[in-house]
Amino acid sequence: MFFKEDLELNQLNLMVSVEQPNKIKKYRDIFEENKNDQIDAFYIADYFRIQRQVNSIIKEEEYLALQHLTRTRYQLIKQLVRTKQHFIENIYYKCNTLSKELKAEGGSVLSATLVTLMTEDYTMDQLAELSLEEFANLIQKLGKYRFKNPEGIAKAISKAIRSSYRLGKVHQDSVDIVLGVLAKEIRSLEKLIKDLDKAIDDLVVVLPEYQCLTSIPGIGPVYATGILAEIGPINRFSDESKLAKYAGLYWRQNQSGNSEYENTPMAKRGNRYLRYYLVEATNSVRRYEPEYHAYYKKKYAETPKHKHKRAIVLTARKFTRLVDTLLRNHQLYMPPRSVIDK
Separation between Cα atoms, residue 248 and residue 269, nearest integer Å: 5
Domain map (residue ranges) of the chain: 2-49, 61-204, 209-256+264-341
Q: What is the pLDDT of residue 261?
A: 62
Q: What is the pLDDT of residue 192?
A: 97
Separation between Cα atoms, residue 67 and residue 279, nearest integer Å: 18
Question: Whole-model pTM above 0.85?
Answer: no
Separation between Cα atoms, residue 141 and residue 137, nearest integer Å: 6
Q: What is the pLDDT of residue 340?
A: 47
Q: What is the pLDDT of residue 82?
A: 96
Instruction: Answer whether 268's CB lies under 8 Å from 277's CB.
Output: no
82-116 pLDDT, tens per residue?
A: 999 999 999 888 888 888 888 877 778 888 888 88
Instruction: Answer whether 88's CB lies under 8 Å from 99's CB.
Output: yes
* Domain range 61-204, CATH class: mainly alpha
What percent of the chain lies above the pLDDT cut of 70? 91
120-172 pLDDT, tens per residue?
A: 777 888 888 888 888 889 888 888 888 888 888 888 888 888 888 888 888 88
Separation between Cα atoms, residue 132 and residue 152, nearest integer Å: 9
Q: Is the pLDDT of residue 58 over 70?
A: no
169-189 pLDDT, tens per residue?
A: 888 889 889 989 999 999 999
Separation between Cα atoms, residue 311 and residue 300, nearest integer Å: 5
Higher pLDDT, residue 113 or 256 = 113
Q: Is the pLDDT of residue 2 over 70?
A: no
Q: What is the pLDDT of residue 254?
A: 66
DSSP H helices, the chain, are 2-5, 7-11, 21-29, 37-49, 61-94, 98-104, 112-119, 124-129, 132-142, 150-163, 169-204, 209-214, 221-231, 240-247, 272-285, 290-300, 307-329, 337-341
Higher pLDDT, residue 211 or 257 = 211
Q: What is the pLDDT of residue 342?
A: 47
